[in-house]
Structure 1
Amino acid sequence: MTSTADEQQAAHGSGGKPEGRRERKKRETRRRISDIATGLFLQRGFDAVTVAEIAEAADVSVNTVYNYFPAKEDLFFDREEEMIDRPSVAVREREPGRSAADAVLGQLRQDISEHSLYAGMREGFDEFMRCVREAPPLMSRLMLMQHKTAQRLYETLVEETGAASDDPVPELVAAELVNICNLVSRGATRATAEGASHEQVARQALARLDTFEKLATDELLKYATKPAR
């Protein structure tokens, strides 16, 4: 599920440099294969669709599909690495005076206000998640992605704070922040599936987030506050 903003960002390499023709063609081919595969999965279910059928529908060879996507689950979660790294990026790029919670939950608030895919509010995302829930391999991959997200955020917090290896706080903070994001996203997806409008879903999601923040301790909310310059 790729947005226009995602496509614009992908059209630039590291450092904001425009990608070359070959890189652009590879990116477009990868996206096309993934989009076709996702459409088939949503129509018929993940387990019912074979890689050979995807290759035929995309007019490429089976080997080409596997070159871009080593596992069938990769076709569905084609933005896995981006999703795993997103909270860590928010923390690394936070402004002076902002804590890790400010960065991660502030990003979530923005996602909600923009009715973003990242907050579980994009049109059709409820069908996307229905497909996940009905396929054990996708549920397993989703759980693994959530674990990796928390692990990467933990590693980022250790780097940002210089915490000792036996300090449990970075791991606990990372797990709690990722869990809050997952809970809000699941609630938004469920409300969307029940027919609520974007405005209603956003209000409910923000109210849930406010409640979670009220229940959180100051130690969690202020952890890893970036020093002023």
Structure 2
Amino acid sequence: MSIDTLGLREQKKRETRQAISDHATQLFLVRGFDRTTIADIAAAARVAKMTVTNYFPRKEDLALDHHEEFVAGLARVVAGRPPGESALAAVRREYLAALDRRDPVIGFTGPAFTRMIADSPTLVARLRDLHEQREQALAARLTAEAETTGGDPVVARAVAAQLAAADRLLFRDLHERMLAAFPNDDDETADALARALAETAPRVFGLLEPAIGAYAVR
């Protein structure tokens, strides 16, 4: 099999996955997550039900399509921090950059999508679980660093808990603002929300500075 053929197959898989995700999102917004079935999504995307579940083993993954990136996000940022930067500084820097690009990973999913999540107990529970996994991934990263430098792994986990708590708080604040803005869903609304969080986020992270500002400086 040629490299070109492999490339075309991978491209086709990506296109199929994206089409399924797009159709699922449209149905979720119209019908609600809990009232939409896998069969509905398969029919809309013109694929078999098995194809949907092959790409998305969990129905929740169709709605929270960035879940893998979300879970790994804080750990990835801390792992990639430059020399001289602490874990707190890295997380703060990346959060403000994510605000500038209106990143859906930090909650910029739009008022309508946010309302859809809030109306589904299944998605609310799944989102809570993803936040916990996000903290665990960060804790694993900081613990691994602490072990190589003779640091206390319990302290590393405590720092991860504080960083994840701040991150979770800002995520929830953005979602609450999104719900208050519903049904307005335009660039002006997103810009206003980003400006509000750009004022709040430094204050939230600033509260952590005295306790962990000097922790895990690379």
Q: Normalization by structure 2: what TM-score?
A: 0.86
In structure 1, what is the equivalent of residue 205 of structure 2? 213
SS in 2 for 1:98: coil
Task: Give the 3-state SS of the residue equivalent to 1:216 in structure 2.
Answer: helix
Could you tell me which amino acid in structure 2 is paired with residue 173 of structure 1? V
1:160 aligns with 2:163: no
Alignment of 1:171-210 (within 5 A): 171-195=157-181, 197-210=189-202
Contact kept in structure 2, 1:118 and 1:185, CA below 8 Å: no
1:48 aligns to what?
A: 35
Pick one of 206, 222, 225 that aligns with 2:214: 222
What is the letter of the counterpart of residue 214 of structure 1? G
Q: Distance in 2 between matches of 1:112 and 1:25?
A: 32
Identity %: 35
Instruction: Tell whether 2:45 aligns with 1:58.
Output: yes
SS state of the match for residue 153, structure 2?
coil
Residue 68 of structure 1 pairs with residue 60 of structure 2: no
Aligned mates of 2:62, 2:156 — CA distance in 1? 32
Name 1:33's counterpart in structure 2.
20
User: Residue 91 of structure 1 is aligned with which of 54, 71, 78?
Assistant: 78
**Contiguous gaps of at least 5 residues in structure 1:** 1-18
Matched to 1:145, the amino acid is L
1:114 aligns to what? 101
Structure 1 residues 24 and 222 mapped into 2: Cα distance closer, same or farther (>3 Å)?
farther
Distance (Å, rounded) in 2 between the aligned partners of 1:60 and 1:182: 36
| Contact 2:143–2:153 (8 Å) recurs in 1 | no
Q: CA deviation at 1:217?
A: 4.2
**Post-superposition offset of 1:200:** 3.1
Unaligned regions of 5+ residues in structure 2, if any? 1-5, 182-187
Determine if the alignment matches structure 1 residue 78 to structure 2 residue 70.
no
Check whether the contact 1:105–1:181 (CA below 8 A) recurs between aligned residues: no
Q: Is the 8 A contact 1:191 1:201 kept in 2?
A: yes
Within 2, Cα distance between the matches of 1:76 and 1:121?
Answer: 14
Structure 1 window deviating more from structure 2 (34-43 vs 203-212): it is 203-212
More displaced stretch, 196-205 vs 209-218: 196-205
The code of the aligned residue for 2:112 comes to E
State the alpha-carbon separation in 1 of the partners of residues 193 and 62 from structure 2: 28
Q: What do residues 2-34 of structure 1 show as CA deviations (whole Å, max 9, x unaligned)?
A: xxxxxxxxxxxxxxxxx8221121111111101
User: Contact 1:92/1:160 (CA < 8 Å) preserved in 2?
Assistant: no
Whether the 8 Å CA contact 1:84–1:149 is kept in 2: the answer is yes
Q: Is the 8 A contact 1:100 1:224 kept in 2?
A: yes
Relative contact order, higher structure (CA 8 A, sep 6+): 2
- Quickly say closer, same or farther: Cα 1:21–1:46, change in 2 above 3 A: same
Q: CA deviation at 1:78?
A: 1.9
- Alignment check: 8 A CA contact 1:101 1:177 kept: yes
Residue 184 of structure 2 is matched in structure 1 by none
Distance 1:222 1:165 in 2: 14
Q: Secondary structure, in 3 states, of the residue corresponding to 1:168? A: helix
